């Protein structure tokens, strides 16, 4: 897919950092002392009642076995020991009443504990709970990690409208190969219009203020910082607790909080991938700090807007932001009905999760020449120990879907493609093994969703059990049932207007053309390139079959338009092998 890039404005100035937002350090603990954490900066949440998550530990207070400072760092230690009728101890440090902030950058440089059953977190809670109990007043999770999924870092927000009890929480993830052996910087930059969650200054997730009230944005009040290591719990203990790993420590090199001021002027640049355009309102050369800007995605006929990537994110076709930094954004447009985002990797690996390495499997993924390449150094002992996923698939019970993709490998090997649940118990809805060769080949998996509807399923490629490198491209997922008889054509069928049906097996499009006029048919591939332009009509016929089989098309998803003198329709189809 061709990536169209347009710079709205660009100013060349030699002064370093002229576009950077000014940061002022307003609170910090560098841990250059020994003993208990500084009581002028840290307090404790104490107790063992489960903390609303069925946690197993007892959080202690002023106990160096669980929280101490030395050698330039803070240590929070989870221990296997009987204490206050609990079998584990740990600490939960808070800055409440000693450090409370509204907006700014909060960053923590930390190294995480390891082991099944551990649940370390760096997060924020409201100080006054102005909008009510959890989740109404909000929660900001800068970093969470669960021991049974050791390399995945989660960044999440919870509000009344968006929270895990409704399965509507807003989050992003990143995989790190060494979070337990190396310090990483976990940060959130919190503005009036958004939050940017970062790991080592790479943006993992952006949560935008929808300007629809506290139910979606309670983040206009002060919050305080929480550092803790939980044991067990509804999430952390979902696969049990390994008692052999204790004691385990989260070590913190520093905590720093900055306020923002000044900065600018700033630039905005936008890009588009697929059939569509991006508009910036107002469009001007420079933007001052605090300027409100709308970025609008406008798809062409036969395509739909799938989401923004860059340092803004979200699925709304109009995103409003308040300028506080340089903005770079790309809008993705896909054929109508396409469920995979960025399946041709024209936007790098955007919308895909980082390559997952689990329990000894290890590979590295990157986009090279428009393909996703997986270089594998440790094959693991199970196929799922190296996996490449995209979440956000809505699979409706009783509907039939087709997953298709191009793949090849440096030597013959197998690959498993699956669709499954994103969270415990990771139910598999469909799975198929494919034998890859060194020749690029199109593969398909067609299945019927027999389980209950899942609004957030994932496509998963399992790449373990072989060290042969794998290459993926042109990944597509469509609902076949919505292709055979397009629901959007219902009115035309009733009134006798131009409409169509599609037969997947015979690769035929059947157009009903009551006026018996010449019909112009245009077919596009996923890159938006025109494949077929033809006049398809037979004198005197009310219907006309367009047989796509005679065009020798590569299996995959295609968009089309069909027009007669006074009518035009758009559609999308899946062409199989």
The residue extents of the domains of the chain are: 3-17+264-335, 22-261, 356-479, 482-575
Give the contacts of 298 (CB within 8 A, at least 6 positions apart).
276, 277, 278, 279, 305, 317
Question: What band does 538 get if pLDDT is binned at 50, 70 and 90?
Answer: very low
Question: What band does 563 get if pLDDT is binned at 50, 70 and 90?
Answer: confident
| In the predicted structure, residue 302 carries a pLDDT above the cut 90 | no
Q: What is the pLDDT of residue 252?
A: 98
Class of domain 482-575: mainly beta
Q: Which CATH number is 22-261 given?
A: 2.60.120.200
Taking the CA atoms of 98, 103, 104 and 109 in sequence, report the sign of the dihedral they define.
positive
Q: Which CATH number fits domain 356-479: 3.40.50.620, 2.60.120.260, 3.30.70.980, 1.10.10.10?
A: 2.60.120.260
Q: Which CATH number is 3-17+264-335 given?
A: 2.60.40
Nearest to 109 by CA among 189, 178, 185: 185
Q: What is the pLDDT of residue 159?
A: 94
pTM of the complete model beyond 0.85: no
Pick 518 or 68 by higher pLDDT: 68
Q: What is the pLDDT of residue 525?
A: 80
Question: What band does 504 get if pLDDT is binned at 50, 70 and 90?
Answer: low
22-261 and 356-479 share one fold = yes
pLDDT tens-digit map of 81-134: 999 999 999 999 999 988 889 999 999 999 999 999 999 999 999 998 888 889
Catalytically annotated residues: 139, 144
User: Tokens for 83?
Assistant: 């204490």
Question: What band does 512 get if pLDDT is binned at 50, 70 and 90?
Answer: low
Report the percent of the chain where pLDDT is more than 90: 51
Strands 86-90, 57-59: parallel, antiparallel or unpaired by DSSP? parallel
Residue 529 Cα distances to 123, 522, 555, 558, angstroms:
46, 10, 15, 10
| In the predicted structure, residue 484 carries a pLDDT above the cut 50 | no
Q: Categorise residue 420: left if φ over 0, alpha if ψ from -120 to 50, beta otherwise.
A: beta
pLDDT tens-digit map of 153-189: 999 999 999 988 888 889 999 999 899 999 999 999 9
* 353, 173 contact by CB (below 8 A): yes
pLDDT tens-digit map of 309-368: 876 766 667 887 878 778 888 888 887 778 899 999 988 888 888 788 887 888 988 899
């Amino acid at each position: 897919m061709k990536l169209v890039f347009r710079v709205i404005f660009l100013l060349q100035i030699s002064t370093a950092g002229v576009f950077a937002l000014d940061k002022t350090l307003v609170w910090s603990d560098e841990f250059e002392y020994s003993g208990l954490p500084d009581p002028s900066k840290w307090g404790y949440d104490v107790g063992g009642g489960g903390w609303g998550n069925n946690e197993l530990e007892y959080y202690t207070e002023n106990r160096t076995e669980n929280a101490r400072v030395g050698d330039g760092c803070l240590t929070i230690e989870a221990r296997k020991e009987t204490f206050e009728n609990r079998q584990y101890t740990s600490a939960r440090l808070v800055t409440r009443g000693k450090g409370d902030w509204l907006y700014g950058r909060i960053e923590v440089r930390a190294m995480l504990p390891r082991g099944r059953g551990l649940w370390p977190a760096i997060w924020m809670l409201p100080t006054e709970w102005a909008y009510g109990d959890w989740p109404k007043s909000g929660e900001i999770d800068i970093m969470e990690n669960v021991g049974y999924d050791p390399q995945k870092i989660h960044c999440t927000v919870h509000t009344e409208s968006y929270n895990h009890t409704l399965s509507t929480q807003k989050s992003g993830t990143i995989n790190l190969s060494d979070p337990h052996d190396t310090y990483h910087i976990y940060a959130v930059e919190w503005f009036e219009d958004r939050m940017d969650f970062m790991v080592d200054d790479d943006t993992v997730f952006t949560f935008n203020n929808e300007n629809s009230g506290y139910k979606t944005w309670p983040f206009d009040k002060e919050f305080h910082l929480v550092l803790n290591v939980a044991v067990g719990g509804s999430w952390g203990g979902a696969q049990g607790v390994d008692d052999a790993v204790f004691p385990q420590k989260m070590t913190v090199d520093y905590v720093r909080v900055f306020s923002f001021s000044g900065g600018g002027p700033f630039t905005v640049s936008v890009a588009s991938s697929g059939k569509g355009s991006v508009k910036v309102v107002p469009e001007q050369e420079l933007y001052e700090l605090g300027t409100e800007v709308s970025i609008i995605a406008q798809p062409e006929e036969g395509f739909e807007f799938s989401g923004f990537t860059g340092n803004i994110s979200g699925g709304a076709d109009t995103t409003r932001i308040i300028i506080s930094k340089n903005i770079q954004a790309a809008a993705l447009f896909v054929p109508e009905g396409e469920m995979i985002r960025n399946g041709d990797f024209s936007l790098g690996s955007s919308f895909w999760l980082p390559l997952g390495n689990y329990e000894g499997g290890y590979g590295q993924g990157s986009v090279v020449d428009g393909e996703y390449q997986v270089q594998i150094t440790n094959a693991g002992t199970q196929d799922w120990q190296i996996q490449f996923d995209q979440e956000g698939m809505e699979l409706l019970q009783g509907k039939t879907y087709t997953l298709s993709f191009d793949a090849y490998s440096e030597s013959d090997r197998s690959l498993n493609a699956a669709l499954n649940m994103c969270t415990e118990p990771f139910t598999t809805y469909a799975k198929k093994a494919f034998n890859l060769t060194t020749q690029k080949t199109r593969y398909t998996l067609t299945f019927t969703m027999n389980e209950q509807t899942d609004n957030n399923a994932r496509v998963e490629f399992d790449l373990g059990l072989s060290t042969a490198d794998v290459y993926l491209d042109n990944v597509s997922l469509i609902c076949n049932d919505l292709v055979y008889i397009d629901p959007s054509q219902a009115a035309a069928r009733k009134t006798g207007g131009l409409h169509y049906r599609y037969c997947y097996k015979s690769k035929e499009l059947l157009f009903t053309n009551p006026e018996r006029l010449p019909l112009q048919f245009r077919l596009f591939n996923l890159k938006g390139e025109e494949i077929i332009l033809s006049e398809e009509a037979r004198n005197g016929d009310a219907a006309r079959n367009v047989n796509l089989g005679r065009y020798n098309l590569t299996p995959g998803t295609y968009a089309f338009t069909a027009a007669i003198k006074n009518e035009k329709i758009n559609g999308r189809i899946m062409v199989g092998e």
